[in-house]
Amino acid sequence: MAGSTETESSSANGRDAESHQSVRNVVLVVLDTARAKSSGPKTTPALTGLAEEGTTFDNAFATAPWTLPSHASMFTGTYSSEHGTHGGHTYLDEGLRSLPESFADSGYETIGVSNNTWITEEFGFHRGFDDLRKGWQYIQSDSDMGAVVRGEDVREKLQATRNRLFDGNPFVNAANILYSEVLQPAGDDGANRSTKWIANWLEAREDDRPFFLFCNFIEPHVTYDPPREYAERFLPEDASYDEATDVRQDPRAYDCEDYALSERDLELLSGLYEAELSYVDDQLGRLRAALEDAGEWEDTLFVVCGDHGEHIGEHGFFGHQYNLYDTLINVPLVLHGGPFTGGGRRTDLVQLLDLPETFLDTLEIDDPELTKQGSGRSMHPSSKAEPRAAVFAEYVAPQPSIDRLEARFGEIPDRVREFDRRLRAVRTDEYKYVHGDDGFERLHHVKTDPHERTDISARKPERVRALRDRLDERFEPIEETRERTDVAMRAGTKERLADLGYL
Average of per-residue pLDDT across 21-50:
96
Residues of the chain above pLDDT 90, percent: 76
Query: Per-residue pLDDT for 487 more than 50?
Result: no
At 165 the pLDDT is 74
Query: Per-residue pLDDT for 62 more than 90?
Result: yes
Nearest to 425 by CA among 401, 399, 391: 391
Q: Between residues 185 and 192, which one has the greater pLDDT?
A: 192
- CA distances to 195, 245, 319, 353 from 281, rounded to whole Å, are 12, 21, 21, 23
At 148 the pLDDT is 65
Strands 300-306 and 25-31: parallel
Helix (H, G, I), strand (E, B) or coil at 336: strand
**pTM of the predicted structure, to 2 decimals:** 0.88
Average of per-residue pLDDT across 274-294:
98
Q: Strand (E) positions, 155-310?
A: 211-217, 300-306
**Contacting residues for 374 by C-beta, under 8 A, at least 6 apart:** 76, 77, 78, 353, 356, 357
**Contacting residues for 283 by C-beta, under 8 A, at least 6 apart:** 191, 192, 194, 195, 217, 219
Average of per-residue pLDDT across 480-503:
44
Query: Per-residue pLDDT for 49 more than 80?
Result: yes
Average of per-residue pLDDT across 470-489:
68
DSSP code, position 107: T
DSSP code, position 470: H
Q: Are 150 and 144 in contact (CB under 8 A)?
A: no
What domains are there in the chain, each with its CATH number?
Answer: 6-136+184-422+482-500 (3.40.720.10)
CA pair distance 264, 441, nearest whole angstrom: 32
CB hemisphere CA count around 396 (13 angstroms): 25
Q: Are 360 and 27 in contact (CB under 8 A)?
A: no
pLDDT band at 422 (very low <50, low <70, confident <90, very high): very high
Query: Per-residue pLDDT for 136 more than 80?
Result: no
Q: In the predicted model, what is the mean pLDDT of the chain?
A: 89
pLDDT band at 404 (very low <50, low <70, confident <90, very high): confident
CA pair distance 123, 135, nearest whole angstrom: 16
